Structure 1
């Protein structure tokens, strides 16, 4: 895999950084050990500014280039997951019930590698803002960093991010203009009826039958209310009710998830689900409440920035290793909040064979770290060549 020679020189350092981070996984916003390690490396490299405490443990570091130009944001997430690790590696998690099962340790190592190189060479104009973000998995750290004014405070003009992709060709890049990852919402429907004896249903207002009717009706939103060409998912994942075979319960609960790629589809689903819950409740003689929680919005890549990023990737790894019309992914990513504030692009970097993301046996492939670091550096250098 072609990489910048100087970055290849310290590939072993990147592996060591990543594996240390793997031993100290931390969750959500509470990542003091991780943030401290990142700060120590940035100080060693000699970045020009380090700003801490953004979204609690987030960091933005600034590297000044040679000559005037805009500020390009490069982002790495660094939180872990509440999973008990089962990899058996000698650098496994030392924090019980927590592990880096999504590769955020690797993302951080890639950005640190790019930082080390760019401080040494400064072969670009303008500035680079290195964004180290907590709480991608839970809490929306990107949203909080943006809400705290990060984009304006550091005058960030564009923003870019990478996520590793197990099962895809090692060192290959995958992206697309427009929506690349879904908005993720969740819903809970609480049904209150009137319970009674299972042999005397006429004396009850049965929440079980009402729940079944609602689940069936909710599925018609996809087939009858949303354009057939729109990509969307509604999955009912839980129904909880009852305690005995001869007792009609008082209550029932329905829970599920919704994935969409555009606001119009999302709004239609919310409207129709509200109407269905109210209408079905009335028809079954029960009361029902819909709690619909909008999560991360869709991750929408800017056209021009994605075309440029794909071109940078092709110059690095070759045209046959870049897919710039990659299929949309129904998973979600809070980098979407950054893309709502600034143009930019999100790319996947193939990690080769191995366990999938969020699996207890997942382990980041250190071989791709120099590729990701080289991409970040090349992106900056090609976008804003240094002033001679």
Structure 2
């Protein structure tokens, strides 16, 4: 076992308990009051300079190395949960109905806390490390809120690093790639408005919004195949439809809502998706004598890994698990990640850490009601953060 993993495994029982506690008390974006307080209390107990309320509920801890140095880096973890009901029968399962940690943010927070403690105990580096605990990653604008609160002015960073669990990769492995890595993630909402009416007696007098939404949804399926260039990647998916009342099945609705997600890697394709969704909504509404209101927005930009920073991240992971445990040319993903907004301000690298899938409770994939972060991955994440600091500011940085 290398030195990084040895340091990471110290008091691993305490870190596991922290992770279980966070998992049992999940909080949605910009509601992470308890989680933020827990993080701040731990950092302060370890003697780390701590600032709370950054971007509403963000927490930033700062550790200065014991050697002189002017460089500084940021390590970021997200803290929020998802609006889902957990199905795991685990002792630490969510105690809050309709909210659960289904994306591993409880593990991300725990791993960065573990690194914080180890760095505070032995700050053998030159420069400064900012530990960024971000709220509201899951589409509620946490990264943008921290930027609006002058994150990088108050906590200067030359480079930034992010980490995310990945269940389909084995524990003890890492994956990333330079340049465009994860797609921009957008959302769209369409509201069709018409006259409604009696579906049994006078359907001919109503602007049938169900026909408008049906043709609209079918039309969406042609956007990627017929409007997006074949060498580009794009996705449009419908995630929600609501219209009428199940207790009034003979009444045709006067309002009907359709919404979903969209993904793309380039600004041109992002603009194309917005335009075609808007055009199709208005066209199919007009055919039925109705109107449409359309809203499109992007809650995450494309994750673009800086080449030099990614090389440093790959080297850091390899020092923990060996070259064979690091995939430095991982395939691109159409998952969204709002760490991308931070990367537009500072060069950075985002990597995945293997979380391993297993049978039974907790063995699901990300954003599934039976997912639970794999505690076996905790020391690998802590060790990776320690190695990043070494590579950027410490023994392997050539100081």
Structure 1 length-normalised TM: 0.91
Give the match for residue 384 of structure 1. Answer: 393
- Distance change (3 Å), C-alpha of 1:237 and 1:37: closer
Superposition deviation, residue 140 in structure 1: 1.8
The SS at the match of 1:288 is strand
Give the match for residue 304 of structure 1. Answer: 308
- Distance change (3 Å), C-alpha of 1:116 and 1:218: same
Contact 1:30-1:56 within 8 A present in 2 as well = no
Superposition deviation, residue 96 in structure 1: 4.2
Give the match for residue 53 of structure 1. Answer: 53
- Cα RMSD (Å): 2.4
Q: Distance in 1 between matches of 2:389 and 2:338?
A: 23
Give the match for residue 221 of structure 1. Answer: 223
Give the match for residue 367 of structure 1. Answer: 376
The SS at the match of 1:67 is strand
The SS at the match of 2:126 is coil
Contact 2:55-2:148 within 8 A present in 1 as well = no
Superposition deviation, residue 37 in structure 1: 1.9
Structure 2 length-normalised TM: 0.88
Q: Distance in 2 between matches of 1:286 and 1:97?
A: 35
Contact 2:299-2:338 within 8 A present in 1 as well = no
- Distance change (3 Å), C-alpha of 1:251 and 1:171: same
Residues 33-72 of structure 1 aligned to structure 2 (within 5 Å) = 33-47=34-48, 49-65=49-65, 66-72=67-73
Contact 1:181-1:333 within 8 A present in 2 as well = yes
Contact 2:19-2:110 within 8 A present in 1 as well = yes
Q: Distance in 2 between matches of 1:57 and 1:204?
A: 48
Superposition deviation, residue 253 in structure 1: 3.1
Greater shift after overlay, 141-150 or 93-102?
93-102
- Distance change (3 Å), C-alpha of 1:24 and 1:218: closer
Per-residue CA distance 1:85-113 (angstroms, 9 max, x = gap): 33333233344443322221211111111
Per-residue CA distance 1:212-262 (angstroms, 9 max, x = gap): 332233322212221111111111334444667776554433322211122
Q: Distance in 2 between matches of 1:365 and 1:237?
A: 28
The SS at the match of 2:232 is coil
The SS at the match of 2:137 is coil
- Distance change (3 Å), C-alpha of 1:165 and 1:202: same
Per-residue CA distance 1:106-162 (angstroms, 9 max, x = gap): 111111111122122222211000001121224221111111101111111211111
Contact 2:7-2:383 within 8 A present in 1 as well = no
Q: Distance in 2 between matches of 1:192 and 1:10?
A: 59
Give the match for residue 87 of structure 1. Answer: 88
The SS at the match of 2:295 is strand
Give the match for residue 231 of structure 1. Answer: 233
Superposition deviation, residue 346 in structure 1: 0.9
> Does residue 1:20 correspond to 2:21, yes or no?
yes
- Distance change (3 Å), C-alpha of 1:17 and 1:263: same
Contact 1:84-1:360 within 8 A present in 2 as well = yes
Per-residue CA distance 1:145-186 (angstroms, 9 max, x = gap): 111101111111211111111131111001112232222222
Instruction: Choose which of 193, 202, 206 in structure 1 pairs with 2:208.
Output: 206
Contact 1:69-1:384 within 8 A present in 2 as well = no
The SS at the match of 2:371 is coil
Contact 2:184-2:264 within 8 A present in 1 as well = yes
Greater shift after overlay, 351-360 or 202-211?
202-211
- Distance change (3 Å), C-alpha of 1:255 and 1:313: same
Aligned length: 387
Gaps (5+ residues) in structure 1? Answer: none
Q: Distance in 2 between matches of 1:256 and 1:321?
A: 36
The SS at the match of 1:292 is strand
Q: Distance in 1 between matches of 2:300 and 2:294?
A: 19
Q: Distance in 1 between matches of 2:75 and 2:257?
A: 42
The SS at the match of 1:295 is strand
Give the match for residue 331 of structure 2. Answer: 327
Q: Distance in 2 between matches of 1:148 and 1:27?
A: 20
Contact 2:179-2:305 within 8 A present in 1 as well = yes
Residues 150-189 of structure 1 aligned to structure 2 (within 5 Å) = 150-189=151-190
Give the match for residue 344 of structure 1. Answer: 348
